[in-house]
Amino acid sequence: MERNDWEERYSQRSRWMTSSIIREILKFAQQPDIISLAGGWPDAALFPVKEMDEIVHDALMHNPGPTLQYGVTEGYKPFRGALAELMSERGISIDEDNLLVTSGAQQALDLVGRLLIDPGDTILVEKPTYLGAIQAWRAYGAQFVTIDLDDDGMCTDQLEDILREHQPKFIYALPNFHNPAGVTMSLERRKQLVTLANSYSITIVEDDPYGQLRYEGDHIPPLVALDAAGNNGPGEKYLRGNVIYAGTFSKILAPGLRLGWICAPPDAARRLVMAKQGTDLHTSTLSQAIAYGFCQRGLLPGQVQRILDTYRLRRDAMLEALAEYFPPGVRWTRPEGGLFLWVMLPDGFDSVELLQETLKKERVAFVPGTAFYTDGSGHDTLRLTFASSPPEVVKQGVKRLGRAIANHTPK
Amino acid sequence: MERNDWEERYSQRSRWMTSSIIREILKFAQQPDIISLAGGWPDAALFPVKEMDEIVHDALMHNPGPTLQYGVTEGYKPFRGALAELMSERGISIDEDNLLVTSGAQQALDLVGRLLIDPGDTILVEKPTYLGAIQAWRAYGAQFVTIDLDDDGMCTDQLEDILREHQPKFIYALPNFHNPAGVTMSLERRKQLVTLANSYSITIVEDDPYGQLRYEGDHIPPLVALDAAGNNGPGEKYLRGNVIYAGTFSKILAPGLRLGWICAPPDAARRLVMAKQGTDLHTSTLSQAIAYGFCQRGLLPGQVQRILDTYRLRRDAMLEALAEYFPPGVRWTRPEGGLFLWVMLPDGFDSVELLQETLKKERVAFVPGTAFYTDGSGHDTLRLTFASSPPEVVKQGVKRLGRAIANHTPK
C-alpha cells in the first residue's frame, strides 16, 4: 500500500516554516578545500576545553544533582545570580526575577514570538536583519515592516512615522556589531529608540550576542540599561520597562552548549518561563553548570580577551585584504566588533548567482544578503565573517572572492 | 511613572499557557524532611558520573569540534546512527532520515504540536494522561477528548466510535508503564490501535520514556514497530506509516542532559527538523556527545540493568507497603515497569485537599490526580512514584500516607 497523506495533516503554522538558506550553504561550505567566510561559527580552536574539562569533572564529582537532575524552568538559581552580575557589568541592576535561562539565544527569540505574536501581527525589523529571527517569528504568523540601517545603526529618524503607521507589536534591534550588517548603533540613537518605545508603549526585543566582542572604542550601554534607568528609581531593579534583552554564551564560550538568557521586567520574564516550560521543561543543567563554573572561577574575562585578541587580527586582515583585492565599485562596512562585515556589490549583481560561481571556481563561501531581507530584496549584498579562519586564510578568501567579483558579469 | 501595560501585549496563545501544578508542588517537596513520592525524578545516586566524566574528557580532548561547535538541527549524524541501532533493538528498522534529536521528550511533544495542531483541533488522549503533553498542546490551541484506561492500557474497544465522532488530529498514547497510571497496553490492543489509526489515516503520537525500565515480563513491541511492519515491505525501513515515536535519555541516563529523539516517517521527520530549527537551532552537542559515548562504548545495557535492579526493589517495597498500610477501599495499579503507580481513593475524597493535610501533618508529598485530567475530573486519584527513594523510605512514606488517608474525613 503506497500512501503519503501526511501533507494534509500539517498545521497552518507549519506552512509558514522555512529552512534556513544559510544552513543549506553551510553543509556545502564544510567541504575541506573551501574557504568559508559564510557561517557565524566561532573558531573551535578557541574553545576553552581544558577549563571545561576541569569544571565538568568538579561538577560531576561534587555536585551531581544540580548538574544532571531535572531543574527549574527559569534556570539554576546560583547561575541566574551570576547572570545578574554579568548584566550589572553591562550597566543594569536586576535580580533573578528578571532572568530566565534559555537554550541559546535562538530559543529566546522563539519564546518572545510565542509570548507576543498573534498571526498577522506586524514586527518592525532592521533592513537587513538576523535571518534566525525572521525564521522564528514567521512560524507564529508575523508580518514584517523594516527600518533602514546606516553606519550608526538603525535610522531612528524614520522610527516615529513607522510606529504611527504600522503600530508594530514590537521592535527588533541588534545594536552591537549587527548581524549581518556589522554596524553599531550610536548612543544617541539608542536613547531615541528607547524614548520612542516608551512613549508608544511598544516592546523592544534587544538581541546582543556579540556585545562583549568589541575590538576598538568604548562599550555603549545596551537598550535595556537605558530603558531601566528611565523607568525605575535609582538603585531600583528593573521593575518597569519595555525591553526584552537576549544574551548568549555561544560566542564567548561555545555554541554547542546551547546556552543563552533573557533579561526582562519580572512580569514578562515570568510569562516567558511559562512559555518555556511546555517547550523543553528547562535548559541542560550540565550546560548551565559549565557556564556557572566559568563565571564563579572568574574565567570569563580571560576567555573573552583571548577571543578579542584573535578576532581583532582577523578583522584587520579582512579589512586590509578588502582594500587590496576588491574591485572598485564595491563597498563594505567597518565593524568595531562582532563577527561580520557587510558587502554592497555594484548595481546589477546577484549574490546568489555570484555564490554559485564562486563556490565552483574559487572555492570560497559567503552568505548571500537576500537571506537577511524580509521583502526578498538585497540581491546585491552579501555577508562575510572574518572570525572563523586565521588571518592568512581570511586574506586568501577575500583575494579569491575579489577575483570572482572582478570577473563576474551580471546576467 | 508607574506602568504595567504588558498584560495587553501578550498573544492569545500565551493565554492558553499554564504552569504545571507538579512543578509548584515539587518546589515544596524539596524541603529536606519531606518524603517525596511526587516527582518523576530518577535517583541521582544512579547517575553514571564516572563514565560521563571519562566520556566528556575524551570528547573535549579528541573531538572538541563536534562536542562544542554549532551542529546540524537533526542531530549529530553518528549519534543518529546509534539511535537507529537502539530503535532496531526496539523492533523497527530505520535509518537517519527517520530521526531527529530533541531537547528532551518534552520538546518532541512541543514540536509535534507545532507541526500538527491548528487552534481548535481535537486531540485524543488517555484518561488520565501525561500533564506535560496537555501543557504543550494547550499552547497551540488544542481541545481534548479522552479514552478510558484499564489494567491493559487504552480501552481500544471505545476507539472507533471516538474516531468517527470527533475526528481527532492525532491519538496520544503512552503504551509502556503509563504516566501517571502505571499500566501497560497489551499487544492485542496495540495492534487494534495501529490498525484503526491506519484505516482512518490518523497519526499516533507514541510517548515511550520508560520502555526500557521493565521489572518483570517480556517487552512488547512499540506501536511504531507494529505500524512499520504493517505499512512497509520486509527489510524496508520506515518509509510509510502513521506513528511519531518519542524516546528519551532522561530515565536511562540523566534528565539534566535534556536529550530525547523522534522517530517518524521521513517526510514528517523532515518537517519536524524544520520546526525545530527556528526553535533552538539544535540540541546541545555536548549532551549528544555524552549519550553517543555511552552507546559507542556499550555502556547503556549495564546502566539500564543497574537502574532496573534498584527500582525493582523499590516498586516491590511500595506494593508491599500499600498492602500493609493502606486502609480498605483504596485501590492501586500494579506497574510492571516505569516509575509510577496510580491510587484510586474512596468516593468523596479530594486528593488536593488530602495533599495539603498530608504535607502538613505527615510530611509526605504526592501528585494529585486531577493534574492528569483534561476535563478537571480525577479528584479521587493520585500518583505515587517509587523510584526516587530507597525501599525503607518508600515504605515509610506509604505508611504515613496510609495513616493520612485513614484519618482523613472528606469535606
A138 and chain B in contact, CB less than 8 A: yes
Residues B226-237: tens digit of each pLDDT: 999 999 998 899
Residues A182-202: tens digit of each pLDDT: 999 999 999 999 999 999 999
Grid cell for residue B291: 549519550
What value does the mean pLDDT take over residues A25-43?
Answer: 82
Q: What is the pLDDT of residue A372?
A: 95
A269 and chain B in contact, CB less than 8 A: no
Interface test with A, best of B3, B5, B6, B257 (most A CBs within 10 A): B6
Burial class from Cβ neighbours inside 10 Å (0-12, 13-18, 19+) for residue B89 reads: exposed
Interface test with B, best of A279, A283, A385, A388 (most B CBs within 10 A): A279
Give a yes or no: residue A214 inside a domain: yes
Q: Do A274 and B70 touch (CB under 8 A)?
A: no
Whether residue A57 is found in the same domain as residue A197: yes
- Asked, as a colleague might, if the bond just before A391 is cis with ω within 30 of 0, I would say no
Q: What is the pLDDT of residue A170?
A: 98
Residues A43-98: tens digit of each pLDDT: 999 999 999 999 999 999 999 999 999 999 999 999 999 999 999 999 999 999 99
Whether residue B110 is found in the same domain as residue B228: yes
Cβ burial A335-355 (10 Å sphere, 16+ → b, else e): bbbbbbbbbbbeeebbbeebb
Which residue type, as a one-letter code, is found at position B34? Answer: I
Interface test with A, best of B3, B52, B68 (most A CBs within 10 A): B68
**Domain boundary residue, one of A299, A318, A340:** A299
Give a yes or no: residue A122 inside a domain: yes
CATH number of the domain encompassing residue B36 = 3.90.1150.10
Do strands A170-173 and A122-127 pair parallel, antiparallel, or not at all (unpaired)? parallel
pLDDT at B8 over 90: no
A347 and chain B in contact, CB less than 8 A: no
Distance CA A189, CA A193 (A): 6
Grid cell for residue B245: 515515536
pLDDT at B205 over 80: yes
State how many domains chain A has.
2
Distance CA A224, CA A99 (A): 13
**Domain boundary residue, one of A239, A266, A299:** A299
Distance CA A113, CA B137 (A): 16
Q: Of B104, B117, B193, whose CA–CA distance to B155 is shortest?
A: B193
Q: What is the pLDDT of residue A6?
A: 86
Whether residue A24 is found in the same domain as residue A66: no
Distance CA A291, CA A149 (A): 34
Which residues form the domain of B135? 50-298
pLDDT at A29 over 80: no
- To the nearest whole number, what is the mean pLDDT of chain A? 94
Comparing alpha-carbon positions, the chain A residue that sits nearest to B142 is A11
Q: Of B365, B354, B357, B358, whose CA–CA distance to B34 is shortest?
A: B365
Distance CA B99, CA B97 (A): 5
Helices B104-116 and B131-138: angle between axes, nearest 10 degrees: 40
Residues of A in contact with B201 (CB under 8 A): 3, 5
Do strands B260-263 and B331-332 pair parallel, antiparallel, or not at all (unpaired)? unpaired
Interface test with B, best of A2, A3, A68, A98 (most B CBs within 10 A): A68
- To the nearest whole number, what is the mean pLDDT of chain B? 94
Whether residue B401 is found in the same domain as residue B279: no
> Are A259 and B103 a contacting pair, CB within 8 Å?
no
Burial class from Cβ neighbours inside 10 Å (0-12, 13-18, 19+) for residue B200 reads: middle
Whether residue A100 is found in the same domain as residue A228: yes
In a 13 Å sphere around the CA of A145, the CA atoms on its Cβ side amount to 17
For B114, the closest of A13, A254, A273 (CB atoms) is A13
Q: Do A6 and B267 touch (CB under 8 A)?
A: yes
Whether residue B170 is found in the same domain as residue B21: no
pLDDT at B28 over 80: no
Q: Lowest-pLDDT range, A9-18, A190-199, B195-204?
A: A9-18
Q: How far is CA B114 from CA A6, A264, A377, B168, B325, in A?
A: 14, 25, 29, 16, 45
For B6, the closest of A9, A73, A265 (CB atoms) is A265
Residues of B in contact with A5 (CB under 8 A): 201
**How many Å lie between the alpha carbon of B11 and the closest alpha carbon of chain A?**
5
Element (H, E) at A196: helix A187-199
Interface of A with B in 307-336 (CB under 8 A): none
Of all residues in chain A, the percent with pLDDT exceeding 70 is: 96
How many beta-carbon pairs below 8 A join chains A and B? 263
Q: Of B367, B355, B358, B341, whose CA–CA distance to B403 is shortest?
A: B358
A270 and chain B in contact, CB less than 8 A: no
Residues forming a β-bridge with A337? A214
Q: Do B132 and A65 touch (CB under 8 A)?
A: no
How many C-beta atoms lie closer than 10 Å to residue A67's C-beta? Answer: 31
pLDDT at A1 over 50: no
Give a yes or no: residue A1 inside a domain: no
Of all residues in chain B, the percent with pLDDT exceeding 70 is: 96
**How many Å lie between the alpha carbon of B332 and the closest alpha carbon of chain A?**
27
Q: What is the pLDDT of residue A20?
A: 66
Residues B380-401: tens digit of each pLDDT: 999 999 999 999 999 999 999 9
Comparing alpha-carbon positions, the chain A residue that sits nearest to B51 is A60
Query: Would you place residue B2 in the very low, low, confident or very high pLDDT band (cuts 50, 70, 90)?
Result: very low
Q: How far is CA A172 from CA A101, A128, A248, A343, B245, in A?
A: 20, 11, 16, 22, 37
Q: What is the pLDDT of residue A411?
A: 76
Q: What is the largest CA-CA distance in chain A?
A: 71
Cβ burial A37-53 (10 Å sphere, 16+ → b, else e): bbbbbbebebbbbebbb
pLDDT at A23 over 80: no
B409: DSSP letter? -
Whether residue B75 is found in the same domain as residue B122: yes
pLDDT at A241 over 90: yes
Do strands B260-263 and B340-344 pair parallel, antiparallel, or not at all (unpaired)? unpaired
Distance CA B195, CA B190 (A): 9
> Are B359 and B365 a contacting pair, CB within 8 Å?
yes
A298 and chain B in contact, CB less than 8 A: no
ipTM confidence score? 0.96
Burial class from Cβ neighbours inside 10 Å (0-12, 13-18, 19+) for residue B287 reads: buried
Q: Do A44 and B268 touch (CB under 8 A)?
A: no
pLDDT at B26 over 50: yes
Q: Do B60 and A72 touch (CB under 8 A)?
A: no
Residues B303-326: tens digit of each pLDDT: 999 999 999 999 999 999 999 999
Give a yes or no: residue B6 inside a domain: no
B199 contact partners, CB below 8 Å, separation of at least 6: none
Give a yes or no: residue B381 inside a domain: yes
Query: Would you place residue A2 in the very low, low, confident or very high pLDDT band (cuts 50, 70, 90)?
Result: very low
Q: Do B231 and A1 touch (CB under 8 A)?
A: yes
Q: In what order do the strands lie in the sheet with A340-344?
A: A331-332, A340-344, A381-385, A367-368
For A68, the closest of B57, B70, B256 (CB atoms) is B256
pLDDT at B163 over 90: yes
Do strands B35-36 and A243-248 pair parallel, antiparallel, or not at all (unpaired)? unpaired
What value does the mean pLDDT take over residues A17-45?
Answer: 79
Q: Of B127, B184, B114, B113, whose CA–CA distance to B153 is shortest?
A: B184
B135 and chain A in contact, CB less than 8 A: yes
Whether residue A269 is found in the same domain as residue A165: yes
CATH number of the domain encompassing residue A218 = 3.40.640.10
- How many whole angstroms from its chain centre is CA B385? 13
Give a yes or no: residue B360 inside a domain: yes
**How many Å lie between the alpha carbon of B88 and the closest alpha carbon of chain A?**
23
Residues of B in contact with A274 (CB under 8 A): 14, 17-19
SS3 A36: strand
Whether residue A36 is found in the same domain as residue A181: no
Q: What global pTM score does this model have?
A: 0.96
> Are B5 and A242 a contacting pair, CB within 8 Å?
no
Of all residues in chain A, the percent with pLDDT exceeding 90 is: 88
Q: What is the pLDDT of residue A83?
A: 98
> Are A128 and A146 a contacting pair, CB within 8 Å?
no
Whether residue B75 is found in the same domain as residue B206: yes
Interface of A with B in 184-223 (CB under 8 A): 201, 203
Residues B115-140: tens digit of each pLDDT: 999 999 999 999 999 999 999 999 99
Residues B74-97: tens digit of each pLDDT: 999 999 999 999 999 999 999 999
SS3 B242: coil
B287 and chain A in contact, CB less than 8 A: yes
Whether residue B42 is found in the same domain as residue B139: no
Q: What is the pLDDT of residue B153?
A: 98
Distance CA B285, CA B268 (A): 23
Residues of A in contact with B1 (CB under 8 A): 231, 240
> Helices in B139-258 by DSSP H: which ranges?
159-166, 187-199, 223-231
How many C-beta atoms lie closer than 10 Å to residue B42's C-beta? Answer: 26
For B255, the closest of A23, A69, A265 (CB atoms) is A69
> Are B207 and B262 a contacting pair, CB within 8 Å?
no
Residues B236-263: tens digit of each pLDDT: 999 999 999 999 999 999 999 999 999 9
Give a yes or no: residue A231 inside a domain: yes
- How many whole angstroms from its chain centre is CA B265? 21
B68 and chain A in contact, CB less than 8 A: yes
**Domain boundary residue, one of B246, B279, B298:** B298
Distance CA A25, CA A36 (A): 10
Residues forming a β-bridge with A153? A150
Interface of A with B in 35-64 (CB under 8 A): 39, 41-42, 44, 47, 49-50, 52-53, 56-57, 60-61, 64
Q: Do A231 and B1 touch (CB under 8 A)?
A: yes
What value does the mean pLDDT take over residues A281-298?
Answer: 98
Interface test with B, best of A277, A285, A292, A294 (most B CBs within 10 A): A277
Q: Do A44 and B65 touch (CB under 8 A)?
A: yes
pLDDT at B4 over 60: no
Residues of B in contact with A200 (CB under 8 A): none
Grid cell for residue A58: 568538579
Whether residue B40 is found in the same domain as residue B167: no
Give a yes or no: residue B101 inside a domain: yes
Element (H, E) at A246: strand A243-248
For B265, the closest of A6, A47, A140 (CB atoms) is A6
Query: Would you place residue A31 in the very low, low, confident or very high pLDDT band (cuts 50, 70, 90)?
Result: confident
Comparing alpha-carbon positions, the chain A residue that sits nearest to B117 is A11
| DSSP-assigned states of every residue in B341-376 | EEEEPPTT--HHHHHHHHHHHT-EE-EEGGGG-TTS
Interface of A with B in 13-32 (CB under 8 A): 13-14, 17-20, 23, 27
